[in-house]
Structure 1
Amino acid sequence: MAKFLILFLGLVSMQVSAQSMKLTKLDTTQYFDFWEGTWEGTWPEGDKQGKAINKVYWISGDKVLHENFEVVEGQSKGFKGTSISVYRPQLDLWKQAWADNQGGYFDFVGSFEADNRMFQTEPVERSGQMFMQRMVFKKIKKDSFTWDWEASQDGGKTWNLNWQINYTRVD
């Protein structure tokens, strides 16, 4: 019986350690730490180029990422948006809320796939189709990354690229 108890306690200890490692792996200083800073974003617009400035910084005791995005050149000049992103340890997931000066509002759930970080909307039925949108942060390096805005009309089985921004750190 004592051997069984020792084995049982050892297994429980290993499980608790694995859960602690999982939470540590998903803390706010790891998955979106790369995003903190001031970024210049560019994208092609025909023979010209669109340009935005995106300032992202930690607030609320370094637990919430606050984003301020503004298009400064191109067809969408004057477009502004802001988001807050937070890791919710009680739910073991990231959440983001986005609002902009054109009345846009999105509620996203974070996910991770290989080296990509994503924020994705829940499916919404529109005209019999399950519509979703997501942003994908990819090719992440210290001073650059690519951001894709994608949409799906089949509940996330396939995705179409709507907008791609190439970001370069400016601070």
Structure 2
Amino acid sequence: MVIMMTYNENEENALVRHLCSAEPAPGLRDELALFGQFVGSWELDWQGWDSDGLQQRARGELHFGWVLDGSAVQDTWIVPKRGEPGHGEVPFGFHGTTVRFYDPQIGAWRSTWINPMGGSVRCFIGRPVNSGIELLSTDMEPHLHWSFSEITHTSFVWLARISHDGGQNWHHHERMDATRL
């Protein structure tokens, strides 16, 4: 049996109105600045390597915004960008989202990545390190290490490293050079 649900335009807009926020929550402004600095739209130059070292390249897009009454930052990563060859194709293409919020109990950011195309959900703990940000996911194999570096108002570098041996050895998996639109 198939159940089809319909919605009208007002219901669709209600989700956007209740999810998105115009600014960070006033009491959390300082804590949220770590990822809040990325709010806006970005163009990505993505490159990834498979287990055989084969490199792929694509252009992508990235959008950051305030959500949940300004208590969190959400982003949407799209590679290849919409309308480009390969959009929506795995293994290198992805269209996913991350919800990030500061957790004062652990003094760090909780970050959850959801990638329907790849069938994955990963939880990370993120912290500022030197002049960048590092996020680590060790809740399952492979372990993942993501970082933001070379951060300016108009650009940053995002790197992904992967470990298949519990964090003993790390290998470059992806790199994205982001430019603010």
Rg: which structure is higher?
1
TM-score, normalised to structure 2's length?
0.68
- Distance across 1 between alignment mates of 2:113 and 2:37: 19
- Distance across 2 between alignment mates of 1:123 and 1:68: 22
Q: Which amino acid aligns with 2:46?
A: W
- Distance across 2 between alignment mates of 1:48 and 1:158: 22
Contact 2:46–2:60, Cα closer than 8 Å, also in 1: no
More strand by share: 1
- Distance across 2 between alignment mates of 1:81 and 1:25: 25
1:104 aligned partner: 120
- Distance across 2 between alignment mates of 1:156 and 1:47: 23
Structure 1 residue 27: Cα displacement: 0.7
1:27 aligned partner: 31
Structure 1 residue 43: Cα displacement: 2.7
Contact 2:148–2:159, Cα closer than 8 Å, also in 1: yes
Aligned equivalent of 2:62, options 35, 54, 57: 54
1:39 aligned partner: 42
Does 1:152 find its partner at 2:152? no
Q: Which amino acid aligns with 1:28?
A: L
Structure 1 residue 157: Cα displacement: 4.4
SS in 2 for 1:28: helix
Please give the root-mean-square deviation of Cα atoms over the aligned residues, in Å. Answer: 2.5
Q: Tell me which moved more, 149-158 or 137-146.
A: 149-158
SS in 2 for 1:27: helix
Does 1:82 find its partner at 2:112? no
Figure out how many residues of one structure are paired with residues of the other and give that number: 140
SS in 2 for 1:142: coil
Q: Decide whether aligned partners of structure 1 residues 88 and 44 sit closer, same or farther in structure 2, where only a CA change above 3 A counts.
A: closer
Contact 1:51–1:74, Cα closer than 8 Å, also in 2: no
1:118 aligned partner: 134
1:10 aligned partner: none
Does 1:63 find its partner at 2:63? no
Contact 2:47–2:174, Cα closer than 8 Å, also in 1: no
Structure 1 residue 158: Cα displacement: 3.8
Structure 2: 5+ residue runs without aligned partners? 1-27, 49-53, 89-93
Aligned equivalent of 1:141, options 120, 135, 152: 152
Contact 1:109–1:122, Cα closer than 8 Å, also in 2: no
SS in 2 for 1:35: coil
Identity of aligned residues (%): 23
Structure 1 residue 166: Cα displacement: 0.3
TM-score, normalised to structure 1's length?
0.71
Contact 2:123–2:139, Cα closer than 8 Å, also in 1: no
